Amino acid sequence: MRAILSPIMMKTRKRFATQRRALKEKKTRPQPYTARPTPAVEHIATGPASPPAYYFNSYQQPFRISILVLQRNAFPCEYNQVKCANGLQCVYNSKFCDGVKHCADGSDEDGEVCKAYVCPEWKRKCADGQQCVDEPYSWCDGNVDCKDKSDEDPGFCRDYSCSDYKQKCSNGLQCISQYSVCDGHEDCTDKSDEDPDFCRARECDSDKVKCDDGIQCIYKSDVCNKYTHCNDKSDEDENMCKARICEPYETKCADNYQCLNIDKVCNGYTNCNDESDEDAVACKEYQCPSGRVKCADGIECVRIDRICDGREHCRDDSDEDKVKCKDYECPAGFVKCKDGLQCIRAFTMCTGNVLGPGSECKDGSDNDTDHCSAYECPVYFAKCPNGHQCVHQSMICSGEQMCDGESEDEEQFCKTRSCGDIMSKCDNGYQCVLDFKTCDGVADCADSSDEDPDLCVE
Average confidence (pLDDT) over 226-235: 94
1 has a pLDDT exceeding 50: no
Q: What is the pLDDT of residues 285-322, one digit of tens each?
A: 999 999 999 999 999 999 999 999 999 999 999 999 99
Task: Confirm whether pTM is higher than 0.85.
Answer: no
The dihedral through the CA atoms of 174, 175, 181, 186 has a sign that is negative
> Where is 132: in which H helix or E strand?
strand 132-134
**CA 126 to CA 441: how far, in whole Å?**
22
For the chain, the domains span 28-118, 245-324
298 touches 305 (CB < 8 A): no
351 touches 390 (CB < 8 A): yes
**Helix ranges, 246-350 (H):** 280-285, 322-327
437 has a pLDDT exceeding 60: yes
pLDDT confidence of residue 5: 41
Q: Which residue has the higher pLDDT, 411 or 252?
A: 252
Helix (H, G, I), strand (E, B) or coil at 443: coil
Q: What is the pLDDT of residues 196-228, one digit of tens each?
A: 999 999 999 999 999 999 999 999 989 998 899
Least confident of 165-179, 188-202, 333-347, 441-455: 441-455
Identity of residue 161: S
